Chain A
Amino acid sequence: MRYFLCCITLVFCAAQAHAQQPTGVKAEDTPNDSGGSITVVWDYPESYEKAEQIRYIISVGEFENGPFHSAKYNEANLQSTDPGTFGHGEETSQKIFARITAYVAPTDPPKRIAIENGKTYYVQVIAHLPSGESFPSAVASAEAYENFFNTLKTNNFVLGTIFSLVILGGIILAQKRDLFIRRIAGLEALDEALGRATEMGKPVLFVHGLHDMGSVSTIAAVNVLSRVAHRTAEFNTELRVANRDPVVMAVSQEVVKESYLNAGRPDAYSDDMVFMVATEQFSYAAALDGMMVRDRPATNILMGYFYAESLLLAETGASTGAIQIAGTDSYTQLPFFITTCDYTLMGEELYAASAYLSREPKLLGSLKGQDIGKAVLLIVMILGTLLATLGNQTLTHIFTAY
């Protein structure tokens, strides 16, 4: 009888230990990184109450039979918190994951040993209960390595490729037949504004935004500057280009010089036309306001990315009676430009400006491609909204950025 009770107790204890033991433990290389990390996955306990009580410790060893050392890992989360890696399925709320990047050095405990690429590591998840009992899981192994493609960005890559092909398609199409491009009032008025400066014998002031050469809006502004400089060279009008960034200034000098050369007026170019004003935001605004008030340029062209100085510049320019054309992709500053400038290029119109002014079929074709892309996005948004309303999130997930 005693023997029987002992057996029953042992079986019961073993069953209880088995119940507390982390199950479904898997280890694998952490995807989409430059190596040095292993992802460990295990099952969520049967109930929320149980999960609240358990504290997990992950141990790492270089051999299957140990010794194992405490690992440094980011907080264990449910897979559903990282849908980019684990997907959106129901099962992700039943799995826990943690990413290991290092473990405690056995000889010098405060030190950490980083996970090396190409080396096999053995991992064990240990569940600690409030009673002080510990239940180690089965051992799993994995090897960390560097990845060549970030799969989290697959949707971005595919959509980017599709839109690029649409834009390139527009360019090819434009070479075969004439395409209708909607009128952009701000750019239609550019010649008029430059002509006014010529007639008045006053300068044209071109103001760059605050971003450096790494910003697309600055690149677009430089492209517009090239067209403006070509016209001012033809009209023999004085051009002044104000800069906040020294690299933008150096690039602008070259662009204006080349434009004057192409217009057959290299003699009219001077390095002083493109100058540095200030690197600080409000010093830049104060200096330009002073120039606008003292020199009274007939035309102010403000292109690029602006911040709070936008209104200081545009309102001062408006008070001097200059024709003002602004272009920015900074949506927070757009209202200020719209209220104070005669013409405003909004958002993508700034990027389209150079192509529009050149009237080159190839460049205009890219604008057509852009419009087609926008139409596609609109359709997808409407469709996505309808599907999401009906409870289907597929399209929403496809367009989610990770």
Chain B
Amino acid sequence: MLFLRRSLPLIIAFAVGMIGILVYYIPHSGAQALEQELTTWYRIVAAFALLLGIYSLMRLHWNRVQRQQSGWGYSFLVFVGFVLMSIFATYNDGQGPLNPQVIDSGPFVWMFKYVQVPADATMFSILAFFIASAAYRTFRARTPEAAILLVSAIIVMIGRVPIGEAIYHALPEIAQWMMDVPNLAAKRGILLGVSLGAVATALRIIFGIERSYLGGGE
């Protein structure tokens, strides 16, 4: 039992991790086929996991509706949406479920285009107001870092609109320089750390040093 719960996952993690590293360097068709095979396995696992996901989603919202928790009406809408989209997907604009999904007409596409996409766009547009409120909170903080952030943000924002050039002709170039030099340097610094961190994390998992994904115990 302990072998199945502890040793086997570590052996699998080591074997698959090493394969993943080696096939990156081996262009031979055998290695590439093996990588393709592993990707196919992942897709199969993901397909089954999707069923689990749907079950989890339905269970979560069913409990809410049943207990009439606050906002349970939205949970009810999840069921309406799920059933409706399943019917439309099966109907497949008159082609039936055994044919490839029609992607340019029919009620399924209509629902996606005129319900899902505008809803997504609405959520995305809220971002503008959230950016303003987050920026206000940050700039209001009276620290040297906040002051630097405020000044650089104003230069970059004004430098990127036509009025910036009207105020001072070199403002767009200054804004671009700020993006290309200090901003890019910081970005690359973070990326270097991230890359080394990814190598370290991968090594810890492959060699079984990091076992927290097994539940955190020794």
A residues with a Cβ closer than 8 A to B are 32-35, 146-150, 153, 156-157, 160, 163-164, 167-168, 171, 212, 214, 216, 219-220, 222-223, 226-227, 229-230, 243, 245-247, 249-251, 254-255, 257-259, 261-262, 271-272, 274-283, 285-286, 290, 294, 308-309, 311-312, 314-315, 318, 329, 331, 334, 336, 338-340, 346-352, 354-355, 358, 362-363, 366-367, 369-370, 373-374, 377
A339 to B138, CA, bound (A): 6
The residue among B29, B131, B194 with the most chain A CB atoms within 10 A of its own CB is: B194
Give chain A residues whose Cβ lies under 8 Å from the Cβ of B199.
160, 163-164, 167, 370, 373
| Contact A249 B200, CB 8 Å, known A34-B28, A294-B70, A354-B212 | no
Question: Is A354 within 8 A of B187, CB to CB?
Answer: no
Contact count A vs B, C-beta below 8 Å: 215
Question: Is B215 within 8 A of A226, CB to CB?
Answer: yes
| Contact A146 B29, CB 8 Å, known A258-B215, A366-B204 | yes
* Shortest distance between the CB of A59 and any CB in chain B (Å): 27
Report which of A160, A271, A276, A290 forms a contact with B57, defined as CB distance below 8 A.
A276
Question: Is B27 within 8 A of A272, CB to CB?
Answer: no
Report which of B24, B29, B30, B194 forms a contact with A348, defined as CB distance below 8 A.
B194
Question: Is A347 within 8 A of B197, CB to CB?
Answer: yes
Interface size class of B (residues with CB under 8 A): 35 or more
Give chain A residues whose Cβ lies under 8 Å from the Cβ of B30.
146
The residue among B50, B131, B201 with the most chain A CB atoms within 10 A of its own CB is: B201
| Contact A250 B49, CB 8 Å, known A167-B199, A351-B198 | yes
Chain B residues numbered 36-90 whose CB sits less than 8 Å from any CB in chain A: 42, 45-46, 49-54, 56-57, 59-60, 63, 69-71, 74
* Shortest distance between the CB of B133 and any CB in chain A (Å): 6
Given A219-B205, A331-B194, A349-B197, 13 extra CB contacts under 8 A: A146-B28, A216-B197, A216-B202, A246-B51, A246-B52, A247-B46, A250-B52, A274-B56, A276-B56, A282-B119, A329-B197, A347-B190, A347-B194
* Shortest distance between the CB of B36 and any CB in chain A (Å): 12
The residue among B42, B190, B203 with the most chain A CB atoms within 10 A of its own CB is: B203
Give chain B residues whose Cβ lies under 8 Å from the Cβ of A150.
25-27
* Shortest distance between the CB of A22 and any CB in chain B (Å): 29
Q: At the interface, yes or no: B192 with Cβ under 8 Å from chain A?
A: yes
Give chain A residues whose Cβ lies under 8 Å from the Cβ of B162.
none
Q: At the interface, yes or no: B196 with Cβ under 8 Å from chain A?
A: yes
Q: Which residue from chain B places its CB closest to the CB of A329 in the assembled complex?
A: B194
Chain B residues numbered 110-153 whose CB sits less than 8 Å from any CB in chain A: 116, 119-120, 123-124, 126-127, 130-131, 133-135, 137-138
Supply 16 A–B pairs (Cβ within 8 Å), ascending by A. Answer: A149-B25, A150-B27, A220-B201, A246-B51, A258-B217, A262-B217, A280-B120, A286-B119, A286-B123, A290-B71, A311-B127, A311-B131, A347-B197, A351-B198, A358-B216, A370-B200
Question: Is A374 within 8 A of B25, CB to CB?
Answer: no
Question: Is B49 within 8 A of A312, CB to CB?
Answer: no
Question: Is A331 within 8 A of B187, CB to CB?
Answer: yes
Question: Is A272 within 8 A of B200, CB to CB?
Answer: no
* Shortest distance between the CB of B147 and any CB in chain A (Å): 15
Question: Is B27 within 8 A of A374, CB to CB?
Answer: no
* Shortest distance between the CB of A163 and any CB in chain B (Å): 6
Closest 7 CB pairs of A and B: A258-B215, A348-B197, A246-B53, A351-B197, A282-B123, A226-B212, A246-B49
Question: Is A311 within 8 A of B130, CB to CB?
Answer: yes
| Contact A358 B200, CB 8 Å, known A246-B49, A276-B54 | no
Report which of B57, B138, B197, B204 forms a contact with A350, defined as CB distance below 8 A.
B197
* Shortest distance between the CB of A95 and any CB in chain B (Å): 23
Question: Is B120 within 8 A of A362, CB to CB?
Answer: no
Give chain B residues whose Cβ lies under 8 Å from the Cβ of A311.
127, 130-131, 134
Chain B residues numbered 178-201 whose CB sits less than 8 Å from any CB in chain A: 187, 190-194, 196-201
Question: Is A255 within 8 A of B60, CB to CB?
Answer: no
* Shortest distance between the CB of A189 and any CB in chain B (Å): 18
Give chain A residues whose Cβ lies under 8 Å from the Cβ of B52.
246, 249-250, 276
| Contact A246 B196, CB 8 Å, known A153-B24, A157-B25, A277-B57 | no
A251 to B49, CA, bound (A): 10
Give chain A residues whose Cβ lies under 8 Å from the Cβ of B63.
272
A149 to B26, CA, bound (A): 5
Q: At the interface, yes or no: B213 with Cβ under 8 Å from chain A?
A: yes
| Contact A247 B49, CB 8 Å, known A147-B27, A276-B57, A347-B194 | yes
* Shortest distance between the CB of B193 and any CB in chain A (Å): 4
